[in-house]
A and B are shown apart, each in its own frame.
Chain A
Amino acid sequence: MYNFELKDPSFLPHAGCEIEFSLKSSHGQLLVGENGVGKTTLLHRIWKQLSTESSVVLVEQRPLDYFYDRKVGEIKKILLGMGQKNSLIDVWNTLGLHEKEDRFFSTLSGGENQTVKLATSLCLKASYYLLDEPSQFLDQIRKKKLTEILNQKIDEGSSVLIVEHNAQWLPQGFSVMEMISTDGWVKKGKTWIT
């Protein structure tokens, strides 16, 4: 279990906060909150703190934009050469990317781009998975597949923290944490903190 504690007045200046919560192994949490409350900033802060001592995978919100003139299959080929062969193929096929390997990256839709981003990150073994709005642009089928993969990670003993705007997409077995900012106050769960 990792106990995340934040006591930094310069963090989230509009909210000015102290935050404390636990990232337990074999557990999934969904952190929800309105725009600008500081969810992404918080996620990066957790990643920064965690990555010095544990294996962490961070899936960022920004789309992949680095290889417009490459085929999807080429990205897979490079990553296969880096190891994690079996898990990459598993996640790749589960998310249906094997059917799109001949497509150029520039021709992918937002959801397909998001799927490539998820596949290249979730094939890795880690103690913690931090995901920033992983369900954006995804259709229902892929959301379901993503839930399966995340639940598998939890079963394997990892801790998963997801950040979303709301709990519309709530993977099975995940607990919800709410983050609300109102004039310098932040609500974590049922407790208001300053």
Chain B
Amino acid sequence: MGTRNILASPSTLGFDGLAILWVLVVHSLTLYLDQEFSALSFVFLGFPLFLGIGWYFSGMLKGKSKFERPILLGLTFNLLVGAIFSLWQFLFLAFNLPFPVELWFGHFRFVQTSFLFVLFGVELLIFCGYFFLQKDFLLYSLGSSIAQNWKHQEKRFFIFLFTAVALGTFIVVSLFGAFSFLGLIFPIVARKLWFKNKDLKGELLWGSFLNGLILMTVDFLCYFFPIHGAEIPVGLIVSSLGALGLGAILYKSFHRETLAKI
């Protein structure tokens, strides 16, 4: 978000992949140690680790204005995690173990009431941060060259953005499973469909509400209209739409560049 690059999102930058990897590690430990970890306990255990690793990698981007490489790095990391995830599923099949389907692309029927409290808590924290930094959001939406002269607290602002995105992604993936490309399609929907270009308030505040509403609607349909008794994973639909969305954006930008050359 801070980069204002349309392709930069929690998915493409590898946040999703990192969260999924942590979920796989905890579930593997659960099996190996034969000890049950509750979803909430591994959220609290994993978050400092997740934040630390994320912070270390984001330090590599400091001062970089071109974000193509970090995006490629993030996508490559996602592919690696995807391969590990597939291998993990294969091992479950090979050893004839019951696969934890709640991890597979977000089945909301496994949701517990305690998860909702955690979600509301995180939302509240993010909104408090947003209202506290409202001035910085407005200034940053005018661009970095104006913001730097108007005493925009860039470091504080980026720390908040990083923490909010990392926390949000980590909690969603830990509690609801692997939503690959979730963070890809929704920011684009928020940026492209309803709001003015570069409108951070629209993207963050109203965009979040609208995106949440869409996700809940899709989930509602999946839950109440199962196919032969099986619920279609919401994450699977979102992943397909995300991949198509990424393709459409790339095609559109390519098309625009070609037209500009003519």
* B149 close to A57 (CB less than 8 A): yes
What number of B residues sit within 8 Å (CB to CB) of A? 15
Chain A nearest Cβ from B142, distance in angstroms: 6
The SS class assigned to the A binding surface is loop
What number of A residues sit within 8 Å (CB to CB) of B? 21
A89 within 8 A of B: no
Chain B window 144-179, contacts with chain A (Cβ cutoff 8 Å), 1 for yes, 0 for no: 011011100000000000000000000000000000
In whole angstroms, how far apart are the Cα atoms of A168 and B103 in the complex?
68
Chain B nearest Cβ from A169, distance in angstroms: 22
* B197 close to A68 (CB less than 8 A): yes
The stretch of B83-91, B133-141, B181-189, B239-247 that contacts the partner chain: B133-141
Return the contact of B197 from the options A60, A69, A79 (Cβ within 8 A): A69
In whole angstroms, how far apart are the Cα atoms of A46 and B146 in the complex?
18
* B138 close to A120 (CB less than 8 A): no
Which chain B positions have C-beta within 8 A of A69? 196-197
Q: Mind listing 28 A-B residue pairs with CB under 8 Å? A: A60-B145, A62-B145, A64-B145, A66-B4, A66-B142, A66-B146, A67-B141, A67-B142, A67-B143, A67-B198, A69-B196, A75-B142, A78-B138, A78-B139, A78-B141, A78-B142, A79-B146, A79-B150, A81-B138, A82-B135, A82-B138, A82-B139, A82-B150, A117-B145, A117-B146, A120-B142, A124-B149, A124-B150
Residues of B within 8 A of A (CB): 4, 135, 138-139, 141-143, 145-146, 148-150, 196-198
